[in-house]
Amino acid sequence: MDLHLSGRVAIVTGASKGIGLAVAQTLAAEGAHVVAASRKSVPELSGDIVHVPVDLMDPLAPQHLVDVAVERFGRLDVLVNNAGGPPPGVSLPRFSFTAPTDDDWRTMFEFNLFAVVRMIRAAVPALLENGGGSVVNVSSGSARLPAPMNVDYNAAKAALNNLTKALSEEFAPQGVRFNTVSPGPVRTAWWTEEGGAADILAAATGNDRDAVIEQVAPEMMKLSTGRLVEPQEIADVIALLASPRSAATTGADFAVDAGFLKQV
């Protein structure tokens, strides 16, 4: 299926690994001009992908990204707010409401909500000037499943869902669509890197990290498919939402979560 993305211009944040890298590569493969934002580049961000080294905790970074996209390609059509999860230097999961401090809460919201707010604020004028476009915010299934584990992260993503609905109401009539994609546990560095979620859960449950990834975590989170989600499975849905083929889809949340959410 032709997604009609050829020649369109997209910004993807958190693009150096995991979901963001898969999204950047998928959009580029569909013919889009991709501006990939991350603190560091990787060899996979090559070819037609333009990497911009930024730290989205810097309030000036979003406008710089938009300026690069418009100066390089003359327009902006798509924004994928993928950067999120544990803030730099933070390891998750945390197992109780009492674990995060005030500073932890502030940092979590700064990275997962306020950085997105600033990115959207910078991008909307360029999207409107071009006659509209698509914004996809990467949320989490945990936003809709309150639990004491990672309570600060869950709350930040719940706020992101609310924000996305509100922005859709305001800007969809002007041609800018806003949607969220809510992954479940995804086989990314959050889980697999040293000191990541797999190691933390392994220490808490008395298992090894491989067993956590392959069996313990899927069982603990009651994943219907019995496995973690792959980044490409998220990227495919984001590409469709970025596409004009989804012109009637706005204010929606798409769970790509291996059956994590059970609610109707």
pLDDT in tens, 49-99: 999 999 999 999 999 999 999 999 999 999 999 999 999 999 999 999 999
pLDDT of residue 81: 98
Read off the pTM.
0.97
Residue type (1 letter), 115: A
User: In this predicted structure, what is the pLDDT of residue 47?
Assistant: 86
Question: Span 147-174, mean pLDDT?
Answer: 97
Q: Round to whole Å and give the CA distance between 99 and 178.
A: 33
195 token code pair: 């000191």
Please provide the average confidence, as pLDDT, over all residues in the chain: 96
Q: How far is CA 208 from CA 22, 186, 214, 230, in A?
A: 28, 18, 10, 21
Reduced to 3 states (helix: H, G, I; strand: E, B; else coil), residue 42 is coil
Burial class of residue 170 in the structure, from the number of CB atoms within 10 Å of its CB (0-12 exposed, 13-18 middle, 19+ buried): exposed
What is the average per-residue pLDDT within 217-233?
Answer: 97
Q: Has residue 146 got a pLDDT over 90?
A: no
The residues, any chain, with a CB within 8 Å of residue 19's CB and separated by 6 or more, are: 82, 138, 183, 186, 188, 231, 234, 235
Which candidate in 73, 109, 111, 153 is catalytic? 153
28-43 confidence digits (pLDDT tens): 999 999 999 999 999 9
The torsion of the CA quartet 165, 170, 173, 179, rounded to 10 degrees, works out to -20
Check whether 264 has a pLDDT greater than 90.
no
pLDDT above 90 for 21: yes
Percentage of residues of the chain with pLDDT beyond 90: 95
Q: Would residue 153 show up in a list of annotated catalytic residues for this protein?
A: yes
> What does the pLDDT average to over 173-198?
95
Domains plus CATH for the chain? 9-185+230-256 (3.40.50.720), 187-228 (no CATH)
